[in-house]
Structure 1
Amino acid sequence: MATTPPQRTGYLPGDPVPDAPLRLVCFHHAGGSASVFAGWQRALGPGVAVLPVQLPGRERRYDEPRPRHLPTLLAELDAELDPWLQAPWTCYGHSMGALLAYSLVSRRAAAGRTLPERLMVGALPAPHRPRVTVDHEGLSEEEFAQRLVELGGISPTVRAYPRWLRAAASLARDDLALCAGPPLRAWEPLPCPVDVFTGQEDPLMREGDADEWAEHTRATFTIQRIPGGHFFPWESPDVFLGRLADCLRLAAGGMRRGSLA
């Protein structure tokens, strides 16, 4: 029987597949936006509703203030997304998005609220380990943008448009500042499975960064090593989306109802 979807929120700008048995909430990387997940719905099929999260200060939310305080952002995400997290759900976060996904799930676990069937994170060291970030202190906008181009976070074509270049570099700087700081406080290990995706040539991940995520779950744990660097989902999309679909099938298999085709 068809169900009425929750009330829309600015954090979820898309039109999710109605009545999909599983929801996939996606959190973008620093300097990114919900549009980086374009094509994922088509690739993953109707058995999952892809819900890309849109943070303020970008795309249709360009005129809204950018997030400056991580705890405040997490509290708002928790409240705004909660109605969408009452049906079976999973989440994938990439880099900064992985930090948001893990922190949100840990916050919900501590409060006794509904948790994902699986937590999937990419391009982020285990929470207790120091994070290697893009060094941007003292760099001009051109130098910083070139660093982001080298990592794959900005298309080289943007450099031909100075206004877009400045906007992209400014947004990335603010997002990196939002994520800056010491390793996260010690949350309790999560009761849900955790799948960690890592690029085989990611310069921002060190030995042990992915493996030590195992300490943060009491359930099953997997590492998915994908060809590419820090932005491997967009460098090796077929491999990545295939592995992601495998994890979603495991999530659907663990649900009390529904299935993923």
Structure 2
Amino acid sequence: MNEDGRPRLFCFHHAGAGVSSFARWQRVFGEHREVVPVLLPGRDARAAEPRITDPDRLTAELLDTLGPLLDRPYALYGHSLGALVAHTLARTVARLGLRRPDRVVLGAALPPHLPSPLLPAPFPPDHELLCRLVAQGQLPRQALEEGEDGVWHRRALPVIRDDLKLAGALRDTAGGPPLDVPVLAVAGHDDTVAPVTEIGQWRAYTTAGFALRTVTGGHFFVRDARLPGLLREELDGELDGATPPSPAAVRSGSSTV
């Protein structure tokens, strides 16, 4: 396929992160698909920009950044917070009559109607939030041991806090009609934050077919080199003319990669 006509894969990172998890994905997809990691404001190269916690501001940001890139077929992959971002973008382009994704892939994220252990109510103060994140395996124990003057408290925690606020707001605004594009949910076999049995409930959020896949690893399986291989296999099936799963052939089982 001519490089200028390659379909795109937009990738959205998890809370507190940047796009480093997707750095090697282009090698896996090669000339088949253009991988486009999407960096939200307030981190890495965009550290000086205000972070986003409001869904309306998020959709404005995404449309401004990605709107010109929706000129080709594309798919979305989002991990944890990124899955909620991808779901929101898919709903937004459908509402506005813009080109819709060929597939929405949601990794390591509970569907919005299920309570999330990462989003306690009310939201705790910094030290309690840090303790919870360490207990859940989201941050290393070093984050507690270094104290309030450490890098985790000063740099990482503010980003994570705002990202979790955004996640909560996206969950609260996720109502409305289901998507009419196929959805693939991916769960980590050992993920205790977003377990396989609950991730399967994303099937209620689409009328165009649903599939569930499991991979080895915990909540951060996005860092595993095998995930992009799975996605290439799934998405290349569409390029080769395979028919995406239909409502009459919804696959609710899972396969381990």
The TM-score, its normalising length taken from structure 1, stands at 0.79
In 2: Cα distance, 1:173 partner to 1:214 partner: 29
Name the amino acid aligned to 1:166: R
In 2: Cα distance, 1:79 partner to 1:154 partner: 35
Partner of 1:244: 231
In 2: Cα distance, 1:210 partner to 1:163 partner: 33
Q: Where do residues 189-204 of structure 1 align in structure 2 (5 Å cutoff)?
A: 189-204=178-193
Pair 153,232 (structure 1): closer, same or farther in 2 beyond 3 Å = farther
SS of residue in 2 equivalent to 1:45: helix
In 1: Cα distance, 2:90 partner to 2:239 partner: 18
Pair 145,86 (structure 1): closer, same or farther in 2 beyond 3 Å = farther
Matched-pair contact (CA < 8 Å) for 2:107–2:187: yes
Structure 2 unaligned runs (5+)? 243-257
Partner of 2:251: none
Relative to structure 2, which stretch is displaced further, 97-106 or 184-193? 184-193
Name the amino acid aligned to 1:237: A
Deviation at 1:184, TM superposition (A): 3.8
Which of the residues 122, 125, 143 maps onto 1:138? 125
Partner of 1:75: 60
Which of the residues 112, 116, 126 maps onto 2:111? 126
SS of residue in 2 equivalent to 1:209: helix
**Does 2:31 correspond to 1:42?**
no
Name the amino acid aligned to 2:240: G
SS of residue in 1 equivalent to 2:4: coil
Deviation at 1:206, TM superposition (A): 4.6
SS of residue in 1 equivalent to 2:75: strand
CA RMSD of the aligned region, Å? Answer: 2.9
In 2: Cα distance, 1:23 partner to 1:205 partner: 27
Q: Where do residues 1-261 of structure 1 align in structure 2 (5 Å cutoff)?
A: 18-19=3-4, 21-133=6-118, 137-140=124-127, 144=130, 147-148=133-134, 151-152=137-138, 162-163=150-151, 166-181=154-169, 183-206=172-195, 208-234=197-223, 236-238=224-226, 240-254=227-241
In 2: Cα distance, 1:155 partner to 1:79 partner: 38
In 2: Cα distance, 1:58 partner to 1:155 partner: 22
Name the amino acid aligned to 1:138: P
Pair 252,37 (structure 1): closer, same or farther in 2 beyond 3 Å = same
Structure 1 unaligned runs (5+)? 3-17, 256-261
In 2: Cα distance, 1:64 partner to 1:171 partner: 12
Matched-pair contact (CA < 8 Å) for 1:20–1:46: no
Name the amino acid aligned to 2:229: G
Sequence identity percentage: 35
Pair 165,40 (structure 1): closer, same or farther in 2 beyond 3 Å = farther
Deviation at 1:116, TM superposition (A): 0.9
Spell out, residue by residue over 1:7-49, the C-alpha distance to the aligned partner (whole angstroms, 9 max, x if none): xxxxxxxxxxx52521000000010112221111112222111
Q: How many residues align?
A: 237
Matched-pair contact (CA < 8 Å) for 2:131–2:144: no
Matched-pair contact (CA < 8 Å) for 1:20–1:49: no
Pair 231,213 (structure 1): closer, same or farther in 2 beyond 3 Å = same
Matched-pair contact (CA < 8 Å) for 2:78–2:107: yes
The TM-score, its normalising length taken from structure 2, stands at 0.81
Matched-pair contact (CA < 8 Å) for 1:128–1:184: no
